[in-house]
Structure 1
Amino acid sequence: MWNFSTSLSGGDEELQDGFLDQSEGVGSLSHTQRIYGFAACLLAGVVMMFLSLIVFVKPIKFAVLFTFGNIFAVGSTAFVIGPMVQIKMMLDPVRIYATAVYVGCAVVALICALWIHSKILTLLAIICEICALVWYSLSYIPFARRMVSNLTVRLFDTEI
């Protein structure tokens, strides 16, 4: 996916294909603009998630801020690698189920908060969303999900 190779024959040659050169679908954005977009989107997501903790006693506001914060944070990498690569990675067979559960939980949390207005259902959906986000994030770390699964078998005599 990312090619960090350099020519072995030239001593001071720069990287021919870098991480940012591989991004697809970000149009005519420069490398600097992509980094700024990534940082702004990630910062917006982190700020929203932090603000959600302040309004934790109001589950509906918490759910909306937390879910949109998650979406911004996860989507921020699309500026760096491109939206098509991001979608391809999310739909990779290794993480398709984790992606589906995460996106489903985020949608359910918003539905429970914005349309149903149920605090209990909203909190349950947020808990499921957090668990799904952790499981989705672990799919990017080699063998992490297997280690967590083995740990749960040992601790709780059940497998995830």
Structure 2
Amino acid sequence: MEKMNNAFEKMKMLVGIEVEDEHQQPAIEEDGNSFSFMDDFNRQCTLTTKQSILVFFHPIKFGITFTFGNLLALGSTAFLIGPKRQVSMMLDPVRIYATAIYLASMIIALFCAFYVRNKLLTLLAIMLEFGALIWYSLSYIPFARSMVSKIMVSCFDTEF
């Protein structure tokens, strides 16, 4: 764990984040243990209220970066398993509809962000893309989509 903390400190210095002096003692929790790596990581990854509602103030900018991030994620999995296998898995009969909806939602989000430039439509396209991403991701987990469908039906069933 000490090696991981040292590596994290070096990474902070490379990025330009201030690092505590080695002379200072690490913060101690109530039970006497020093903060773990994940506690330090979570403290560094906090967003202000203004930053966390970026989507509502700048949905076009967020939509573009979110969609390109999704495209990069698809490209990274294609890099890991190979483009031919990636395409064959995406076109598998089990997930062909989820893939089509996911790719269409990315195209719609980019279209709304670049050409329409309407904040409300872009925000709706981002929500559609996020839902399609979840549904597409669930298609890789056996029985996950049927389980989520049953849970949603039971939660929103209006019959008593």
Q: Which amino acid aligns with 1:129?
A: E
Mapping of residues 16-95 of structure 1, within 5 Å: 55-56=54-55, 57-95=57-95
For 2:54 and 2:74, locate their aligned partners in 1 and report how far apart those are by CA, in whole Å.
Answer: 22
TM-score, L = length of structure 1: 0.64
Q: Which amino acid aligns with 1:126?
A: I
For 2:52 and 2:110, locate their aligned partners in 1 and report how far apart those are by CA, in whole Å.
Answer: 16
Cα deviation for residue 73 of structure 1 reads: 1.2
Cα deviation for residue 115 of structure 1 reads: 0.3
Change (3 A) 1:151 1:85: same
- The percent of aligned pairs where both chains have the same amino acid is 61
For 1:53 and 1:109, locate their aligned partners in 2 and report how far apart those are by CA, in whole Å.
Answer: 20
Cα deviation for residue 71 of structure 1 reads: 1.0
- For residue 114 of structure 1, what is the aligned residue in structure 2? 114
- For residue 141 of structure 2, what is the aligned residue in structure 1? 141
TM-score, L = length of structure 2: 0.64
Aligned length: 107
Structure 2 gaps, min length 5: 1-50
Cα deviation for residue 53 of structure 1 reads: 6.0
Change (3 A) 1:53 1:76: farther
Cα deviation for residue 55 of structure 1 reads: 4.1
For 2:68 and 2:104, locate their aligned partners in 1 and report how far apart those are by CA, in whole Å.
Answer: 14
Structure 1 vs Structure 2 CA RMSD: 1.7
- For residue 152 of structure 2, what is the aligned residue in structure 1? 152
Please tell me whether the aligned partners of residues 102 and 129 of structure 1 are also in contact (alpha carbons under 8 angstroms). Answer: yes
Please tell me whether the aligned partners of residues 102 and 132 of structure 1 are also in contact (alpha carbons under 8 angstroms). Answer: yes
Cα deviation for residue 157 of structure 1 reads: 2.0
- For residue 101 of structure 1, what is the aligned residue in structure 2? 101
Structure 1 gaps, min length 5: 1-51
